[in-house]
Amino acid sequence: QLQLQESGPGLVKPSETLSLTCTVSGGSISSSSYYWDWIRQPPGKGLEWIGTIFYTGRDFYNPSLKSRVNIFVDTSKNQFSLRLSSVTAADTAVYYCARRDYDPNYGMDVWGQGTTITVSS
């Protein structure tokens, strides 16, 4: 079955750029049936949607992060990635990737296990 696995540096310094990758296994990222999302959760807080990408490269972002975030897809590697620039301590969170159905009725059905990112000097 489909699995998602996040990978990233663990620790990022303030003002630097965070880069995360989600590797898709057991299915193709090039499916026209799904979007691919990034979500984050600061320690002890709720979930925040960051943005999404379709295999064609079509993307949408949360306006609260839009000026700092970029999501892109690499279909040859079956991966999609997140870049978040100018990070601060407020970007410390668990970052999840997820698959979401193209039909807005269905939502996110498969999630990665999450990767913890700490912003600190």
Residues forming contacts to another protein in the complex (CB under 8 A) are: 37, 46-49, 52, 60-64, 96, 100, 104-109, 111-114
User: For 102, how many CA atoms within 13 A lie in the half-sphere containing its CB?
Assistant: 10
Min dist. Cβ of residue 83 to another protein (A) = 18
Which residue number, 49 or 68, has a Cβ lying nearer to another protein?
49
Min dist. Cβ of residue 47 to another protein (A) = 4
Burial 16-41 (b: 16+ CB within 10 A, else e): eebebbbbbeebebeeeebbbbbbbe
Which residue number, 16 or 49, has a Cβ lying nearer to another protein?
49
